[in-house]
Structure 1
C-alpha cells in the first residue's frame, strides 16, 4: 500500500536536493495541513449492515471462526469480490460513500454481479464528510460489526488462498487457550499478474517468486515495514515462528479484537495508519507469530490520492506528526517509560525527522 508513495518520497530526498538544507520547506511540512487537523474531530454518518450477507444466519450461532476486515470505495469493490471468492467465509466491509445518489445503485449492481459478495460480505456504509480518506474510521466500523471476535485485517486490493479460513482454525484454538496475547502474521506479497493466475498454495507461490512474478511487499522501499516477518525463514518454514517486533513493522494480522484497542482515527489519508496500531499491540504485550503456510498478495494498481489535494509526502508528514504524539501517549497508557525506547521506536524529541520516510 505504501510502496509507490515511499518510492516517490525517498527518490526525491536522495536525488533531487538535500532536504536537510531546505529549512523553510521543513518547517512548512512539519505544520499539519488544516484539512488533516479538521479531520481529527470530524464525525461520519454510517449505515451498519446496509447489506447483510445472505449465507450467514442472523439468528443462530455462526459456524465460522474468523472474519476478514476490509475497507474500500465503490470503484474497488470488485477487488473485494476477488478476496471473498477465495475466502468463502465472513467478510466485514466498510465502504466510503462519496456520492450516494450515484454509488448506491452501483453497489446493488455489484452485489448482483458477484454471488460470493452477496453471500458472505456484510456491508457497512460511511458517508464522506470533507476529510482525507478515513481509513481507520472505516476499519473500526468493520471491526465493531464483525461476526466473530477473531479478525483478519486486509486491504481491499489483496487476495488470499482458498481454504485459509479452515486452515486457521487451529491457530484460533491455540490463541483461545493461551494466557499471552497472540497475533498471527500473514506474509505479504505483491504482483502484477492477472488475479486469476495468483497462487492458492505456498508451493505455487514459491515458483512464481522464482520466476519474478511475485515479490515480497515493500522490502526495498521500507525494510522495517515487513522485515521482521523474515521472508527467507518463511520460505522453508513448516511451523509457526516468532517475529521480533520493532517499530515501523506493519504486518497484516489475525487477532482477537476483544484484546486490543481499535485503530486510532486521527490517521486519515496516507501514512502510519496501520503501523501505529501494531505498535499499540506490541506495547500491550502482544506476541507476533508468522504462520507458515498462508499468505496474501497485493494486486498492483495505480496509487490513489487518499481523498486529498495534498501530495503524498505532505500527507505522510502530517501523519508522522500524529504518530510522534501517539508513541509516548501509548507507552504511558500501558506503564512504559515514555523517555526510553521499548521497540526501537523514535523518542519524541527526535521523532519528526526525514529519516522516517526511508526507515
Structure 2
C-alpha cells in the first residue's frame, strides 16, 4: 500500500488504473543495488534473444538513462481527431511498452522528484493521464531530451489502433528470417536441414544464480558443453571432477526447464556451485541444434580460455588446475595415443581428416557452423576451421577425459536408419568445404584432398 500511495494521487483514464503508473516508481521499489533493468508490458512477444536488447545498454552515452522506441502512432501529434489534446511529448513521443532503465543513474538524478514535479505541473491543465505512465515519461522527456537513448523501432513493434508500425517492418528480425527462408528451395530434399540454421530459439541465459571471480594471472579456463534432458545425470559428476567455471547450454522444453530447476535445487552438489552457468535454449524444430548450443555456451564464457568438451566426457580429477598452470599456445588436441602414453612433455600434431579432438582455445576462437545439426561433422568442421586459421594442435601429457557409456542419441539413430539423412549430411559437408575454399583459398585445398583420400 505504501508504494501505491506514491502514484494513487494521479488521476488516470487508462484501463490499467493504478497499475499503469507503477513503472514510475521502479527506482524505489526495486533493490538499491540493482543498476539496470529491462521493463516489459505483459503483452510483449519476443522474436529474438532478449540478451541482444540487454546489450544495448552499452550504447548509452552521457546522461542517457532511458531506452525507448518512438511511438508508432500520431497520438502525441494531436491530430487523430478534432479537439484531441495529448500530453506534451517530443515529436511523436515514446512508447513505454519496452523500457531500458539505468536505475543507478536515475536515482542520482533524483528521478522521483523529476517525474513528480512534472506530473503535478501538467495535471493542472490536463487533469488526468490518458496513457498512464507513458504520458508522464513523455512530459519529462520533453523537458529533458538528453535522458533518452532511442531504440530501433523493431524492439517494440506496436500493433495498437492508429499504428504506423508497418514503416518498421523491414527491420524486424523475424521478417528478415522469413526473407532468408523464402530464398530456400522447399523442393530441395535437404530443405529441413537448411532451414534449421535460421531457426530462432528462445534463450534464457543464466537460468540459475551465477558468480565468477576472475583470477589475476589470466590463465583461467571454462569447461564448455551442451546437453539435453537425458544427460542431466552427468552434471553432478562433472562438477565433482571440474572445480573451475563451467558454461552449459541445455536444450529443453518449457516443462523440462522446470524439471531441471527442481532437479538442480534438490542437488547439494549443484547448489553448492555458483560458478556454473546454465543457459536454457528452448526446443524448436526437429533437429538437435548441437552447434548453436555450443555457440551459446561459448559466447558467455568469462575466462581467457575455454575447454570445449561434450557432456559425456568426464574430466580426470585435477584437470582444471593442470590446464590452468600449463603454458598454452593456441589450442590443444589429444591424438597419437601410443606417443601420449609415454610422453612427458607437450608435443605438436598435425590436422588429419575427420579430426575431432576436444580442445582448449582462447575465447575469441571461431564459432561452430550452425548448418550442422543432429549427428555428424559438427566438431569436425570446427576443428577444420581452427586449422585453416593456423591454430596449432598441442597434445598435453598427463591429461585425459573418460568417455562415459550412454545409449545412442535420437539423431545418431536417424543417421543410421535414414538414407536421406546421410545424403544431406554429405551435401552439407561438400558445401562447407566449398565455403572453406572461398574463405581460405589455396590453403583449403588440403581438406578436399584429405576427404577424397579418407
TM-score for both structures, normalised by structure 1: 0.67
| 2:360 match | 254
Residue 139 (str. 1) matches residue 244 (str. 2): no
Question: Secondary structure of the residue that 1:306 maps to in structure 2?
Answer: helix
- Please say if residues 96 and 127 of structure 1, whose CA atoms lie closer than 8 Å, have aligned partners that are also in contact: yes
Residue 82 (str. 1) matches residue 82 (str. 2): no
Q: Any residues of structure 2 matched to 1:224-303 within 5 Å, and which?
A: 229-258=335-364, 260-303=365-408
Distance 1:312 1:149 in 2: 41
Q: Any residues of structure 2 matched to 1:116-135 within 5 Å, and which?
A: 116-118=269-271, 119=273, 120-135=275-290
- Please say if residues 239 and 270 of structure 2, whose CA atoms lie closer than 8 Å, have aligned partners that are also in contact: yes
Greater RCO (CA < 8 Å, at least 6 residues apart):
1
1:276 is displaced (CA, Å) by 0.2
Distance 2:226 2:403 in 1: 14
Instruction: Provide closer, same or farther for how the CA distance between residues 77 and 62 of structure 1 changes in structure 2, counting only shifts above 3 A.
Output: farther
Instruction: Provide closer, same or farther for how the CA distance between residues 78 and 345 of structure 1 changes in structure 2, counting only shifts above 3 A.
Output: same
Distance 1:159 1:121 in 2: 16
- The total of aligned residue pairs comes to 262
Distance 1:82 1:313 in 2: 37
1:59-115 deviation digits (Å, cap 9, x = unpaired) = x535670001100012212213211211011110100013x12x1232122212333
Distance 1:344 1:149 in 2: 34
Report the aligned-residue RMSD: 2.3
| 1:222 match | none
Distance 1:276 1:139 in 2: 13
Question: Secondary structure of the residue that 2:280 maps to in structure 1?
Answer: strand
1:230 is displaced (CA, Å) by 0.7
Query: Unpaired runs of 5+ in structure 1?
Result: 1-30, 176-181, 188-228
1:331 is displaced (CA, Å) by 3.3
Distance 1:251 1:313 in 2: 27
Residue 44 (str. 1) matches residue 201 (str. 2): yes
Which of 73, 88, 107 lines up with 2:260 in the alignment? 107
Instruction: Provide closer, same or farther for how the CA distance between residues 313 and 169 of structure 1 changes in structure 2, counting only shifts above 3 A.
Output: farther
Q: Any residues of structure 2 matched to 1:149-298 within 5 Å, and which?
A: 149-171=304-326, 173-175=327-329, 182-185=330-333, 187=334, 229-258=335-364, 260-298=365-403
Distance 1:343 1:242 in 2: 23
- Please say if residues 69 and 152 of structure 1, whose CA atoms lie closer than 8 Å, have aligned partners that are also in contact: yes
Distance 1:324 1:256 in 2: 28
Instruction: Provide closer, same or farther for how the CA distance between residues 336 and 141 of structure 1 changes in structure 2, counting only shifts above 3 A.
Output: same
1:216-239 deviation digits (Å, cap 9, x = unpaired) = xxxxxxxxxxxxx11111111111
- Please say if residues 184 and 253 of structure 1, whose CA atoms lie closer than 8 Å, have aligned partners that are also in contact: yes
Question: Secondary structure of the residue that 1:300 maps to in structure 2?
Answer: coil
- Please say if residues 69 and 139 of structure 1, whose CA atoms lie closer than 8 Å, have aligned partners that are also in contact: yes
Distance 1:316 1:80 in 2: 31
Distance 2:193 2:315 in 1: 33
| 1:34 match | 191
| 1:194 match | none
- Please say if residues 241 and 290 of structure 1, whose CA atoms lie closer than 8 Å, have aligned partners that are also in contact: yes
- Please say if residues 133 and 308 of structure 1, whose CA atoms lie closer than 8 Å, have aligned partners that are also in contact: no
Distance 2:199 2:366 in 1: 20
Query: Unpaired runs of 5+ in structure 2?
Result: 1-187
- Please say if residues 414 and 421 of structure 2, whose CA atoms lie closer than 8 Å, have aligned partners that are also in contact: no
Q: Any residues of structure 2 matched to 1:91-106 within 5 Å, and which?
A: 91-98=246-253, 100-101=254-255, 103-106=256-259
Question: Secondary structure of the residue that 2:207 maps to in structure 1?
Answer: strand
Distance 2:278 2:380 in 1: 25
1:335 is displaced (CA, Å) by 3.8
Which of 224, 227, 232 lines up with 1:69 in the alignment? 224
Distance 1:76 1:125 in 2: 14
Question: Secondary structure of the residue that 2:437 maps to in structure 1?
Answer: helix
**Greater CA radius of gyration, 1 or 2?**
2
Distance 2:413 2:392 in 1: 35
- Please say if residues 245 and 276 of structure 2, whose CA atoms lie closer than 8 Å, have aligned partners that are also in contact: yes
1:154-205 deviation digits (Å, cap 9, x = unpaired) = 111110111111111233x443xxxxxx2112x4xxxxxxxxxxxxxxxxxx
Question: Secondary structure of the residue that 1:68 maps to in structure 2?
Answer: strand
